[in-house]
Amino acid sequence: MSIVAIVGRPNVGKSTFFNRLIQRREAIVDSVSGVTRDRHYGKTDWNGKEFSVIDTGGYVKGSDDVFEEQIDKQVELAIDEADAIIFMVDVESGVTGMDEDVATLLRRQSKPVFLAINKVDNAMREENAVEFYSLGLGDYYTIASISGSGTGDLLDALVEALPEKEEVEERILPRFAVVGRPNAGKSSFINALIGEERYIVTDIAGTTRDSIDTKYNRFGFEFNLVDTAGIRRKAKVKEDLEFYSVMRSVRAIEHCDVCLVVLDATRGFDGQVQNIFWLAERNKKGIVILVNKWDLVEKENKTMREYEKMIRQEMEPFTDVPIVFISALTKQRVFKAIETAVKVFENRTKRIKTSVLNDYMLPVIEATPPPATKGKYIKIKYCMQLPTPHPQFAFFCNLPQYVKDPYRRFIENKLREEFDFEGVPVAVYFRKK
């Protein structure tokens, strides 16, 4: 599939245009300049031709801002990835020095570049657009990204210039969401894993504001990795931007298959990390705990064992979760983390044959039946796995209302012992025969 990058200086309306193209509010749009920091991907089609779109951060040359140098790198990477480029400028401010910097960068490209002059919503502004010929990029297209005016002509020309690519039927890949509180090292972990600076990384908490997908296909593993903004406590979510970011992170958890919960080893499995963990558990997602920055912890003989014991105590009663100690900075165990996540995904999608399940569970139940309640004996005759995306089991009996939680947990533990559901919440139901 062809790729189109939208580039330009800050605050010219790139994200608004991006959202219009993909027809949903995916990129954050705000009146604050510099909201988009990472490359943001979406898919759209025009005249029957599908293509991917990359929304980039605003390009600013020579800024002292700690983020700008990283944003500029991201813009240049997006340009390298793209088959065609939409260069967006703003008719209200006219040609600026930053526009000229971007134009200089784009004139060196052999790829088709489409100059889109945004916010042209009346005849007077059409006349003002003429000055953009000075950028030396040839003809331009006048648009208004908020209303959609003029975008049709731009997209007609764009899809005409896109190369014909052999279409391969897309498979639905597993989605692994990398979640955690701000500044735990989520983006650093993904950068270490994929071997490129796909995400902006700084020491400032909250650098990642969007949830972004990256396709991973190495060493026999293939899945989508989702980097998310750090999730803060509600009391600390003050800015609108941060509110959007937290909501997008929560949505990433809801729509993934496995959550890689990254925590900072120097801070521990604190209350906020526990909230994220239980959010993933309530949504019945596969879970892997990644203890990042392990290289910063002073170690003795049993440090790792004691740290793991502390985490499992906080996770009770759901303790059957893999814990991997990593360092995104030194790449220590980052590939083991992915191997573990793939195994958890396999556990989550595992199907147990009904005959195999009954052959194992019915003797266990006969040896340890549910305790009698009010003089009534519970007889479990049959069990099966339900056809759901995550492991759920139904046990059919004469008096399901008398089965208590301790026995339910006993059954769950026996299922885990025999069939290996490590990292996956298991639901057990008792139903009337």
Known binding-site residues for GTP equal: 8-15, 55-59, 118-121, 180-187, 227-231, 292-295
Grouping H, G, I as helix, E, B as strand and the rest as coil, residue 294 is helix
**DSSP tally for the chain: helices H, then strands E:** 12, 15
Annotated binding-site residues read 8-15, 55-59, 118-121, 180-187, 227-231, 292-295
Q: Which own/partner contact pairs does 381-384 have at CB distance under 8 Å and 24+ positions apart?
A: 381/433, 382/358, 382/433, 383/354, 383/357, 383/358, 384/354, 384/357, 384/358
C-alpha torsion sign, points 102, 198, 201, 271 = positive
C-alpha torsion sign, points 181, 183, 186, 189 = negative
Q: Are strands 258-264 and 40-46 parallel, antiparallel or unpaired?
A: unpaired
- Residues 6+ away with beta carbon under 8 Å from 249: 179, 211, 228, 229, 230, 231
C-alpha to C-alpha distances, 271 to 159, 232, 315, nearest whole angstrom: 50, 11, 11
The phi, psi pair for 397, rounded to 5°, reads -145, 175
Tokens of 249: 């992170």
Tokens of 10: 């800050």
Q: Are strands 2-7 and 84-90 parallel, antiparallel or unpaired?
A: parallel
Amino acid making up residue 406: P
**What order do you get walking across the sheet with 49-55 strand by strand?**
40-46, 49-55, 2-7, 84-90, 113-118, 140-142
Q: What distance in Å separates the CA atoms of residue 8 and residue 397, rounded to the nearest whole number?
A: 65
